[in-house]
Amino acid sequence: MSNEAAALEERKYWRIWAILVSLPLMSLAAQQTGLGWLAITVSLVVMLTSTWFAVTTWMHVHLEPRYIPYLCIMGLAGMFMFFFMVSPDVMNHEGNNWKNPSANAPAHIERPVDPLKPRGTGVEAHH
């Protein structure tokens, strides 16, 4: 690689660095507005964009053999499988042939709650 080509390549890395530093600042600005939905939306976009930039331009995943991205996608698939298999048990208080009585414990005990329902003591559920 010639010196000019190398300098050009390094300038590209600095540009990506500038993007990756400014993206979290956008998230910070969104959070400081106090609008929860805006912070969540911007965070999701920034998380995915930053990851895309880092993985493609710094880790050069597209230059690796095709099975490498597949290997990483399999890891992600495992994570999603875990999430969708476990989350119903964590976020619901009862299901087919099971109940989670501790979820209806008094309010001072930290417990999972249904964000769509108003919070109570949990005692009403038994009556």
Partner 1 sequence: MSGQIIATGRSAAGMPTGKLAVWMVIASEIPIFGGILASYLMHRIGHPDWAQMTAGLNVWIGTFNTALLVTSSLFAMLAHAAAERGNGPLAAARLRLAAYGGLVFLCIKAYEWYTKISHDHVPQTGTFYGYYFSATGLHAIHILAGVAILLAIAAQAEKGKHLGRVELIGIYWHFVDVVWFFLFHIFYIIR
Interface positions with partner 1 (CB under 8 A): 1, 6, 9-10, 13-14, 16-17, 20-21, 24-25, 27-28, 30-31, 36, 39-40, 43-44, 46-47, 50-51, 54-55, 58-59, 64-65, 68, 71-72, 74-76, 78-80, 82-83, 86-87, 90-91, 110, 112-115
Minimal distance, residue 89 CB to partner 1, in Å: 10
Q: How many CA atoms lie within 13 A of 99 on its CB side?
A: 6
- Choice between 88 and 127, CB closer to partner 1: 88
- H/E stretch holding 6 reads helix 3-32
Name beta bridge partners: 98.
Answer: 95
The residue type found at 24 is P
d(C-alpha 60, C-alpha 56), whole Å:
5
- Choice between 116 and 127, CB closer to partner 1: 116
